[in-house]
């Protein structure tokens, strides 16, 4: 059976969906794992995925978890994800998470850091390109 048939086919037992979700999780395929846990309605697995999404700073994964849970997510969860994403230099995810939490100051700080990082890399690149040949 193909992944799609197992996931969306009629009559796939919940236990099978959960087992596939666990296998995908073991392989590090977090997006696939959340889909299987979500379709199975496996709250325990979704809660584990929520923690992993925050740890990984993955905005879209956390958003998908909340969709399956039928929740928006709390301010603290989005702030935690934003801070972690910022640590990992996932600036787009950090900005989105801070926006979801309603923290405009943190969003502006991320934009500032993002410009600094881009500017720093650009300056370094120009310096290397403009350096005289040996």
User: How does residue 121 score in pLDDT terms, banded at 50, 70 and 90?
Assistant: low
64 versus 120: the higher-pLDDT residue is 64
pTM metric for this prediction: 0.82
User: How does residue 92 score in pLDDT terms, banded at 50, 70 and 90?
Assistant: very high
pLDDT of 124 reads 37
Check whether 50 has a pLDDT greater than 80. Answer: yes
pLDDT of 30 reads 97
Check whether 18 has a pLDDT greater than 80. Answer: yes
pLDDT of 63 reads 98
Check whether 123 has a pLDDT greater than 50. Answer: no
HEC-encoded secondary structure of the chain: CCHHHHHHCCCCCHHHHHHHHHHHHHCCCHHHHHHHHHHHCCHHHHHHHHHHHHHHCCHHHHHHHHHHHCCCCCHHHHHHHHHHHHHCCCHHHHHHHHHHHCCHHHHHHHHHHHHHHHHHHHHHHHHHHHCCCC
Please provide the average confidence, as pLDDT, over all residues in the chain: 89
Check whether 103 has a pLDDT greater than 90. Answer: yes
Name all domains of the chain by residue range, CATH numbers in brackets: 1-73 (1.25.40), 74-125 (no CATH)
pLDDT of 132 reads 45
């Amino acid at each position: 059976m193909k992944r799609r048939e197992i996931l969306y086919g009629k009559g796939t037992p919940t236990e099978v969906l959960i087992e596939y979700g666990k296998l995908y999780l073991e392989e590090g395929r977090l997006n696939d794992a959340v889909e299987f846990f979500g379709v199975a309605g496996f709250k325990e697995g979704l809660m584990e995925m929520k923690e992993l999404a925050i740890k990984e700073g993955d905005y879209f994964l956390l958003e998908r978890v909340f969709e399956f849970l039928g929740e928006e997510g709390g301010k603290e969860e989005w702030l935690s994800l934003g801070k972690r994403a910022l640590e990992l230099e996932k600036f787009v995810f950090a900005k989105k998470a801070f926006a979801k939490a309603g923290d405009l100051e943190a969003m502006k700080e991320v934009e500032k850091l993002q410009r600094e990082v881009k500017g720093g890399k650009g300056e370094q690149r120009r310096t290397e390109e403009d350096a005289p040949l040996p």
